């Protein structure tokens, strides 16, 4: 089956899987692998043997990736088959050890796909622009330096693009250069109120090179550019600015705050479709809003709120071979952009016209709307995506024609789904009930329960209301 999907710049045609994912969580690992293999085959995967998930990282490959390597460390790899983003269904890989993360994201994604006003998540991304920084110090007056950079803007763009010629040929490269004046902040070393400095610090200039990284995350590329262009920048500043003869180049490094590389995902569901656990949908929506406002008002809650978002984002990013540390850093910086650490998601209840547009008596329909917008840098080329067999396999699982923007949109949609599911659970039944039920499996394994008895032991602990090792051992004693 073929379907046409609209991207930012064009229409693409891709294969559509007809695999049924109903009851996927009830199946055995082998049954799930067979379904995933069937799915990949229908998508036209390049894998010669789709049924064989690569089992880990070879020692020689791992040794080439990091220093002092002694092996590799595995995480559970799961899939969430329910994500529909911009009308296209994705089976999303997630690598995570925390119970309930995959279940929660999958449940929310299924609800959004079934009842969202657009049949799933709606997502968009800005251009893949990252920033490289060059610090200039000992320049004397700083405003003339800003003026010099502005005057030399095109020359600096051309000079910088010489260090990324292949990227320029692909339509990317340096697209802008701007200078900022940075004023020193006084920050105490410890809990005291005194910020000791060896010598007075003056304002200085940081020059930003804005780079369109095309399909790459861009870190190595940008570092190459700023290190390469810095001598020319310094030469021009010394030439243009009186009193800047002693100017020096300081740090040259990319910034992970990619605030010009932003992805947004959203959904809207009629509150009547939010009914859950016997609770009316309108009540569910308002209870979620109560929890959301707590995160808006209180930094302690906002921190845990955002951690829940990153539970989903990180799990997908790890499985897909992305730099989850860079994603985390940018997200938390963005959460602090207003001066107060705030929730990354936004929620509201709104009323929309319902029924026929020509019907004056049509009632308004109440919708619950969620939105997540964050700076995020991901790539479909470079890094370890080609050297790590499981990263390569996981990216193939998404299907063909997944560019870096689509990849970002999938990952951000996972974060939004994860947060929505967590808020719903907190609002209606508390986080522990569902989480601990799933955690019971881990407890059973740790207690030495045989694999064939884990399901029974889990049920025993849940029914007893005691999900701990003592309860698991009691089960073992009764079933020896």
Q: Please identify every residue annotated as catalytic.
A: 98, 307, 323, 435
In whole angstroms, give the CA distance from residue 164 to residue 145.
25
In whole angstroms, give the CA distance from residue 476 to residue 480.
6
Q: Pairing mode, if any, of strands 262-270 and 129-137?
A: unpaired
CB-based contact 5:43 (threshold 8 Å): no
Structure tokens at 371: 């939105």
Question: Which residue has tokens 């059973």?
Answer: 444
State the helix-helix crossing angle for 404-428 and 101-115, rounded to 10 degrees. 100
The pair phi, psi for residue 186, each rounded to 5°, is -95, 120
In whole angstroms, give the CA distance from residue 402 to residue 405.
8
How deeply is 236 buried, as exposed, middle or buried, from its count of CB atoms within 10 A (0-12, 13-18, 19+)?
middle
Structure tokens at 456: 């029974």
Burial 369-393 (b: 16+ CB within 10 A, else e): bbbbbbbbbbbbebbebeebebbbb
In whole angstroms, give the CA distance from residue 136 to residue 99.
48
């Amino acid at each position: 089956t073929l379907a046409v999907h609209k991207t930012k710049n064009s229409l693409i045609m891709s294969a559509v899987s007809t695999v049924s994912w109903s009851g996927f969580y009830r199946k055995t690992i082998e049954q799930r692998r067979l379904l995933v293999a069937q799915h990949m085959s229908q998508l036209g995967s390049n894998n010669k043997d789709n049924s064989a998930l690569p089992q880990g990282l070879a020692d020689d490959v791992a040794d080439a990736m990091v220093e002092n390597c002694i092996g590799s460390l595995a995480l559970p790899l799961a899939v969430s088959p329910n994500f529909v983003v911009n009308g296209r269904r994705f089976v999303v890989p997630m690598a995570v050890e925390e119970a309930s993360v995959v279940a929660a994201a999958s449940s929310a994604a299924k609800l959004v796909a079934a009842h969202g006003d657009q049949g799933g998540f709606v997502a968009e991304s800005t251009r893949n622009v990252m920033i490289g920084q060059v610090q200039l110090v000992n320049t004397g007056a700083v405003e003339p330096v800003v003026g010099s950079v502005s005057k030399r803007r095109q020359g600096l763009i051309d000079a910088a693009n010489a260090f990324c010629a292949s990227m320029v040929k692909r339509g990317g490269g340096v697209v802008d250069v701007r200078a900022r004046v940075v004023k020193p902040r006084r920050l105490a070393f410890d809990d005291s109120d005194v910020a000791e400095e060896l010598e007075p610090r003056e304002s200085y200039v940081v020059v930003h090179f804005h780079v369109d990284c095309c399909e790459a995350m861009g870190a190595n590329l940008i570092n190459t550019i700023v290190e390469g262009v810095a001598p020319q920048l310094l030469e021009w500043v010394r030439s243009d600015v009186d009193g800047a003869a002693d100017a020096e180049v300081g740090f040259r490094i990319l910034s992970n705050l990619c605030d010009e590389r932003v992805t947004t995902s959203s959904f809207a569901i009629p509150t009547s479709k939010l009914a859950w656990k016997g609770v009316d949908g309108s009540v569910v929506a308002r209870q979620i809003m109560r929890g959301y406002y707590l995160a808006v008002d209180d930094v302690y809650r906002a921190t845990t709120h955002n951690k829940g978002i990153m539970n989903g984002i990180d799990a997908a990013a790890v499985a897909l071979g992305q730099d989850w540390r860079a994603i985390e850093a940018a997200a938390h910086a963005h959460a602090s952009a207003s001066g107060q650490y705030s929730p990354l998601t936004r929620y509201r209840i709104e009323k929309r016209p319902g029924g026929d547009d020509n019907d004056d008596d049509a009632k308004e329909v109440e919708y619950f709307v969620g939105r997540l917008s964050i700076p995020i840098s991901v790539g479909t080329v470079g890094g370890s995506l080609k050297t790590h067999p499981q990263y390569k396999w996981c990216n193939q699982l998404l299907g063909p024609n997944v560019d870096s923007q689509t990849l970002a949109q999938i990952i951000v949609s996972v974060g939004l789904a994860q947060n929505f599911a967590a808020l719903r659970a907190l609002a209606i039944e508390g986080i522990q009930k569902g989480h601990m039920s799933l955690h019971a499996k881990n407890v059973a394994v740790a207690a030495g329960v045989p694999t064939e008895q884990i399901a029974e032991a889990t049920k025993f602990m849940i029914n007893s209301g005691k999900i701990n090792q003592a309860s698991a051992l009691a089960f073992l004693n009764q079933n020896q």
